[in-house]
Structure 1
């Protein structure tokens, strides 16, 4: 018998008594929980949950995060299971994220400009991210740089609890040790120059993101 999983995404009308039948190569159920501050440019959180069938070989599990500065954050947790309807009540474990500085530092970019951001916890990569955010049939381009977990560096397409992320370019390098001065105005670090990988699109980003194409 084919596997069945519950389907639901935050903001949609979901009927948990009508699980969907998974099709090959989907061999697992997934639940993804997202918390972000992209819409607020502050410490206010926007969250949501996504449940569906999934291909376990192509599904990211565990925790991944991007930190585009002190107030622009994306944190995503996901879990998979392999029995019928097992994602109905399964919730990813939201472990407390360490806010202890880890001695590493990356340039961070978001409106109205860019600055240096000292990394915390397990975010030990500097990342340049370019792609699209989709929600409710609307897609907008975005770009940013900041600190990231290693798992975040492998994202291409991710259906999450709030947005669908379609990343066309993610480049990561090990984060360097924090400098004594917190201010920086450089447009590059390591082998990466942001201007060389951002596509030539109109230089605007909706206020939804609060990021900028630097």
Structure 2
């Protein structure tokens, strides 16, 4: 049963489901995964690039990230009563770490199997442990939903620079100064470009995860 939350207050709805998922509620867990997984997949594809995406399946990496993140979900503190930026930051940081590790192994000629260390990164005893053990099925179903295609299609419809800004700023939470080093350009102008891009995505997909992103 959904809480009595105004339809346009998606951040409050996300926070509600994260709190329920932290307690081990399966429907809320599925809601949270469905909320974050598509944009996480987009970030995995971006970070891997075309060449490595042919070797490592981005969806497998996302599943691996969730296997690590779920048992930790209950330990993540809200920030100003909001969970979206906290969960997003943890997921994206875990994903970037995983991919950097894969790249390092690939360069050394010692490819790492996706998911081989996920179990060792979790701790037993919390309400999410049993859910994490059988989580792959949940993720696979979620990643096949229309939401994934809508999110990916919306991102692909942006200019490449705008798309990179959404992923680097909105998903990974990098500062505009950090992004300027990666992409070039003036941080203030990058902020304007980001605001324009996020506004476009919100108009295209009202009520989506983009509604929860920072608007700065």
Could you tell me the TM-score, scaled by structure 1's length? 0.27
- Structure having the higher strand fraction is 1
User: Which structure is higher in helix share?
Assistant: 2
Is the radius of gyration larger for structure 1 or structure 2? 1
**RCO higher in structure (CA 8 A, sep ≥6):** 2
